[in-house]
Copies of this chain bind each other. A is one copy, B any other.
């Protein structure tokens, strides 16, 4: 019970790799985890404070040239906390697809609306797919010096595989809808 939040682990996961500022962490989450994770500044900065109080990170004010920054470093205690979580095989995957929820309840509103929604979803997926495919190709070119690259690649491939599945579903869904006479 109690500690079910995982923002702290996500942050420690990044800090385990290299020291970062809160701002960096936010950007990194948005670029590398956005397919399956999210986090706002509000949660990141407050979580960093908590982690510091718990002794899992330490901070240093680093004035990079002229700009003031606060860089966070993981401690040994933080590493072992992270590792305990990583060694635990259980995982709770939570999905909240508002798209699917609306689709589920839209039957009585007609096929046109359903079609429109599927097309909107399809467009969003198609617009995001190239970026994910690009990061896969980038990661494939890096030869595995860094033991993390392989795992980054695996998660990126997960994105590609699921996005392709979404598009196949869109195709099938449109066909099915069109096969019904109005």
Which residues of chain A have a CB within 8 Å of any CB of chain B?
A: 6, 9-10, 13, 16, 32-33, 35-38, 82-83, 85-87, 89, 91-109, 111, 113-114, 116-118, 120-121, 144, 146-155, 157-158, 161-162, 164-166, 168-169, 172-173, 176-177, 180
Chain B positions within 8 Å of A94 at CB level: 38, 95-96, 98
A100's closest neighbor in chain B, by CB?
B36
Chain B positions within 8 Å of A157 at CB level: 169, 172-173, 176
- Residue from the list B113, B148, B150 in contact with A180, Cβ < 8 A: B150
**Is the Cβ of B91 less than 8 Å from the Cβ of A152?**
no
Contacts known (A117-B89, A157-B169); A101 close to B36, Cβ less than 8 A: yes
**Is the Cβ of B102 less than 8 Å from the Cβ of A86?**
yes
Q: How many copies does the complex hold?
A: 2
**Is the Cβ of B152 less than 8 Å from the Cβ of A104?**
yes
Closest 8 A/B residue pairs (Cβ) = A107-B148, A165-B165, A13-B105, A91-B98, A107-B151, A36-B97, A161-B169, A91-B99
**Is the Cβ of B149 less than 8 Å from the Cβ of A100?**
no
